[in-house]
Amino acid sequence: MLTLLSAMYLVVRTASAQAEPIRVLVTGAAGQIAYSLLYSIAKGDVFGKDQPIILVLLDITPMLPVLDGVVMELQDCALPLLREVIPTDKVEVGFKDLDAAILVGSMPRKEGMERKDLLKANVAIFKTQGEALEKYAKKTVKVLVVGNPANTNCLIASKSAPSIPKENFSCLTRLDHNRARSQVAMRVGVPSDSVKNVTIWGNHSSTQYPDVHHAIVTRNGKEIAAFDAVNDESWLKGDFISTVQQRGAAVIKARKLSSAMSAAKAICDHMRDIWFGTPDGEWVSMGIYSSGNSYGVPDDLMYSFPVKIKNKSWKVVDGLSINDFSRGKMDATAAELVEERDTALTFLSA
């Protein structure tokens, strides 16, 4: 028996020793989200405990000295899966042969900056990075856009990389999803994993619609509808929604910095689910290409939907009933995205 176990152990060890490293890019790598994120990726929380990783860290030239410090710290973690760390300010290095790209870096809003100017600056960044994906990355690369405005940046990146399937691009609304899940769990008094199938519809902005009409709470071993478990419709249709929508601003007000630890955790959740799939019977929220959806959302947007993931491919959860309350909120966030897209496209073609 012991010999058999030892042989199995050897097989597993040999298999893991032979696994080819994957190349993972994080942009904005000298920033605060990346600082919380890189350790989790490098120790195997996202791509698996047997998957060696080459981490490519891209930031702008003035941040290279800071990036050096991040590289030193990653080396000092002595993580066995981390085979190489490549800091760079060059897209031709950063986007080469990528298996996964996590695009965190973007132009932040500066004092006095108009929304339009911010969008223009970000269109320029995500056009360049999309073109670099097109030119240098693997066609199978999975791209997650985090930098705001995440949905529209993601759309611009995907339009600038026409030979990579649109389905390979997604943007982060998992933080909003996790916030919604946690708010319901705290209200009912259960752990967060006892709440499933919340949905974030639309834009990662204050127009997003956190929807719990189909969410389920497990309490005392029994599954019940979230609306019944919470038993307070006016909270669910009022303060719950505004709390989730405004949570980012509330964190900034309290911390004087935007969400970083929770954003990093959400990025890990999102990418891990792309890599390994969602648990049976559960869905998650992510911003994906809207064309062909069954919910009447306009085509050609990156819009957050409920999705299930299998074999590294997502599928929108179809057939959920949508009442008038939900319809209004889903349309409002779609209208914001349409306007944002149309403005962004004028910059893209300029």
Contact flags string 67-106 toward ligand NAX, x per CB under 6 A: -------------------------------------xxx
In angstroms, the CA 166 to CA 158 distance is 6
Our CB check for ligand NAX shows the closer of 150 and 185 to be 150
Q: Least distance from C-beta 205 to ligand NAX, angstroms?
A: 9
Residue 150 in contact with ligand NAX, rule: CB under 6 A: yes
148 is in an annotated binding site: yes
Which residue, 30, 95, 94, is CA-closest to 38? 30
115 is in an annotated binding site: yes
Residue 108 in contact with ligand NAX, rule: CB under 6 A: yes
Q: Which of 25, 42, 52, 59 is the binder for ligand NAX (CB under 6 A)?
A: 59
Q: Name residue 199's beta-bridge partners.
A: 211
Q: Which residues of 120-135 are buried (b: 16+ CB within 10 A; e: fewer)?
A: bbbbebbbebbbbbbe
DSSP 301: S
109 is in an annotated binding site: yes
Contacts with ligand NAX in 268-307 (CB under 6 A)? none
In angstroms, the CA 306 to CA 330 distance is 13
With contacts defined by CB under 6 A, name the span among 80-88, 142-150, 269-277, 317-325 that binds ligand NAX.
142-150
With contacts defined by CB under 6 A, name the span among 143-151, 236-244, 275-283, 301-309 that binds ligand NAX.
143-151
Pairing of β 199-201 and β 209-211: antiparallel
In angstroms, the CA 217 to CA 6 distance is 43
Query: At a CB cut-off of 8 Å and minimum separation 6, what does 2 contact?
Result: none
In angstroms, the CA 202 to CA 199 distance is 10
178 is in an annotated binding site: no
Q: Least distance from C-beta 82 to ligand NAX, angstroms?
A: 20
Contact flags string 169-208 toward ligand NAX, x per CB under 6 A: ---x--x----------------------------x----
Q: Name residue 284's beta-bridge partners.
A: 307
213 among known catalytic residues? no
Our CB check for ligand NAX shows the closer of 59 and 273 to be 59
Q: Least distance from C-beta 37 to ligand NAX, angstroms?
A: 9
Number of residues located near ligand NAX, criterion CB under 6 A:
29
In angstroms, the CA 89 to CA 142 distance is 21
Rg from Cα positions in the chain: 21
Residue of this chain nearest to ligand NAX (CB atom): 31
DSSP 50: T
Give the Å distances, CA to CA, from 273 to 17, 269, 312: 24, 6, 8
Q: Which residues are catalytic?
A: 204
Q: Note the residues at the interface with ligand NAX (CB under 6 A).
A: 27-28, 30-34, 58-60, 63, 104-108, 125, 146-148, 150, 172, 175, 204, 248, 258-260, 263
